[in-house]
Chain A
Amino acid sequence: MPELLYDHIIVRYGELSTKGKNRKEFTRQLTHNIKKRLSDYEQLTFNTLHDGLFIKLNGEDYLKIREDLQDIFGYAYFAGAIRVEKDIEAVKKVTLQLSETHNVRTFKIVTKRHDKSFPMRSDDINRALAGNILHNTSLSVDVHNPDLMIYIFVDKDYIYVMDEKVKGIGGYPTGVNGTALVMMSGGIDSPVAAYMTMKRGLKIECIHFASPPYTSKQALNKVLTLAEKLSVCQEEINVHIIPFTDLQLAIYKHVDESYCITIMRRMMYRIADEICKRRKIKVITNGESIGQVASQTPESISVIAKVADTLILRPLCMMDKLEIIDAAKKIDTYETSILPFEDCCTIFDPKNPVIKPKEDKCLYYETLFDYQSLINDCINNDEIVKVSYREKRREEDESVF
């Protein structure tokens, strides 16, 4: 890749799927997300296009930016570009130079003419440039299966030459669909659910239930590390750490062992629901998948979810465990998720959890203790930690390194 030749990046937003009416809002959010993600590169200058973004590199490192851009949802593709004066001889020179930096045998030129007043038609441009390369190198043209595609974009003031299109990771610009609260245990599933939530254009906050001393600091750190990894998609993530010990102990004191997990999950949903209401969050998402454990049978899920009014979405609910693991590996959360620290769901592992819980039984058990005041305590002591890949969460003594 002739990265040294590039002086621009062109990001194309594409169709942004089907949401015709919201297009303006989508474009605005996407531009905002890209600029934020690249804010460390101080020399960059941006120019919005009708269908994308022009980024002038001004000497910044293309390869690094190339990597960072691939964390962003919502655009169709981007390409490193060389800006050339609107003079066919100049374009000939650059395309020839470009073809020589690639170790390939065949090529094809594709021209797009945004400026229809340019005196040559697209086809003429293709011929002129290809002819020049054929004449000066041993490369040959292959229109069906070329090793190298050279794209020419004739714009109003300049012509841009590109030689690779890097496909975006799809999805909608994060934030365009509002905010979701992700229930995050620290296991394999919830980070994948969080990622899929962001991919649908929802900005996320996370909620984690901590039961010290039954759960360790490492278990909490694991969640924060996961959030840090996920934050590349949206800059910063609020993690709500709910002190859950007292409520959990009360459950285990008053509720029949087989129903403990069911009631515990209902309490978690109640807390998540209340936090959503207070913060005007419209969606709860989590990593539940049908049938995975006793609390995730259809019966369990429906009895548990009855306590919450907020819309609950379960991105993983129809996925196999192996598919989820693959997805976790792809987004680089798997290795962190499998670190062996107990979360509050595994700590009081009942021997015979109920698989088909009944709502009336739940309601009965919930009359046996004053859970509402315990829930209030949880919510009032909600500790919100802002996590970002930019700032290392733990205080590190930089002088050590």
Chain B
Amino acid sequence: MKVYLDAVSTTSVDPEVKDTYKKLLDEYYCNSDALYDDGVAIYDMQEKARELIENYLGIRKNEIIFTSGASEANSLAIKGLALKHPEKKHLITSIYEHSSVYNSFKQLENDFGYEVTYLPPDENGQITPQAVEKALRPDSLLVSIMQVNNEIGAVNDISEIGKTVKKHPGVYFHTDITQGLGKIDADLNNADMASFSAHKIHGLKGSGALYKKAHIELLPLISGGQQEYSMRGGTSNALCNIILAKTLRIALANKEKYHDQIMSLHEHLIKGLDPRVTVNYDKGLPTLINISTPLTSEVLLNALNEKGIMISSKSTCGSKKNEVNRTLRSMGIDEDHAIRVSFDYSNTPAEIAYFNETLKEILDKYA
């Protein structure tokens, strides 16, 4: 039996998305900026996709910049904004952001002379509007706080944080909604920019977007032509971009459709855990639970892998580096023993049961 419990890392491609993408691949190969009919048709579909994505996200008359994924969107938002506005040198983020956010700030700090405040989560694992308020300074330019943490699933109130930031004119608020998208609602009315990717919501890899209010100026990171409001040059990955609208539509519909199933899987998982397991964090996203066992995470992952269970101990974007785990350390969780179990609507109760049983067997044998 193969059981995939690493949904926060990536997801399978939705069959409808896959079929439509294949169909588009066969039909449309033209450059979306070409002026003949087929090129214009692709261009029009891409613009339509932009409009639909805006609608789905509940934002209007703004810009959707298609990118290769959330990492690029995060980099463009943060570095693009900071480098365009060098007159203000103070930036605020959290200590437990995804590496694409964290390392963008690190780069600005180390190579471009910016000063960055890294906010730690509170005892609930959250970055509060109050903490943001306290960190703001007259020379602050940007606040970037993720909606859902990718290691423990903590959920931040980006609406309230956005409101707090909006009280300070001239400060922008960016949020990485990659892990929350299709799982919990995001009120983006107070956000100036938001990043997300397709592959976390059963879409294609190499596809994502940055939502940005139209008036905000960024320095493009990729120089090129007129594509994406001249913010990101290069021949458009038009079909990927077009299919993102459908991906998002299905994800949002499934969020409602499978809500009860998700809650029941969550209950199954928690109730069936072996008593030797400690739940490190379970106050956020129901589909992501961080646990520790007496075994080191490396040993446990190997043993689970033997049994066909695919699971990660930490963010896969940092899985091959021996860096400290910023999230777990900031929460005082022993990173050597922690693993994150994540699932979604494509998992079954039988798979959760299998995981719980297998975990028990492994602990019996090795712990």
Q: What residues of chain A have their CB less than 8 Å away from a CB belonging to chain B? A: 216-218, 221, 394, 396, 399-401
Contacts and interface: CB of A to CB of B under 8 A. Distances in A.
A66 to B, nearest CB: 15
Contacts of A218: 35, 40
B37 A217 contact: yes
16 contacts: A216-B35, A217-B40, A221-B40, A394-B41, A394-B44, A396-B44, A396-B45, A400-B20, A400-B24, A400-B45, A400-B242, A400-B246, A401-B48, A401-B49, A401-B242, A401-B246
Interface string B43-60: 011001100100000000
Given A216-B35, A217-B37, A218-B35, A399 B44 contact: no
B52 A401 contact: yes
A401 B249 contact: yes
B291 interface: no
A221 B35 CA distance: 12
Interface residues of B, number: 16
Given A218-B35, A394-B41, A399-B20, 20 more contacts: A216-B35, A217-B37, A217-B40, A218-B40, A221-B40, A394-B44, A396-B44, A396-B45, A396-B48, A400-B20, A400-B45, A400-B242, A400-B243, A400-B246, A401-B49, A401-B52, A401-B242, A401-B245, A401-B246, A401-B249
Interface of A is mostly: helix
Interface string B1-42: 000000000000000000010001000000000010100110
B276 to A, nearest CB: 49
Contacts of A394: 41, 44
Contacts of B40: 217-218, 221
A142 B243 CA distance: 55
A394 B43 CA distance: 12
Q: Provide the main secondary structure of the chain B interface.
A: helix
A228 to B, nearest CB: 13
Contacts of B249: 401
Nearest to B45: A400
Nearest to A397: B45
A187 to B, nearest CB: 20
A214 to B, nearest CB: 14
Nearest to A332: B61
Contacts of A217: 37, 40
A204 B62 CA distance: 31
Q: Which 10 pairs, one residue from A and one from B, show the smallest C-beta to C-beta distance?
A: A401-B245, A401-B246, A401-B52, A400-B20, A400-B45, A394-B44, A400-B242, A399-B20, A218-B40, A216-B35
Contacts of A400: 20, 24, 45, 242-243, 246
Interface string B248-283: 010000000000000000000000000000000000
B103 to A, nearest CB: 35
A394 B47 CA distance: 13
A150 to B, nearest CB: 27
A218 B249 CA distance: 29
Contacts of A216: 35
A7 B19 CA distance: 44
A400 B238 CA distance: 12
A401 B40 CA distance: 17
Contacts of B41: 394
Contacts of B20: 399-400
A251 to B, nearest CB: 26
A79 to B, nearest CB: 24
Contacts of B48: 396, 401
A283 to B, nearest CB: 33
A401 B44 CA distance: 12
A217 B20 CA distance: 27
A131 to B, nearest CB: 36
Contacts of B245: 401
A396 B24 CA distance: 13
A401 B245 CA distance: 6
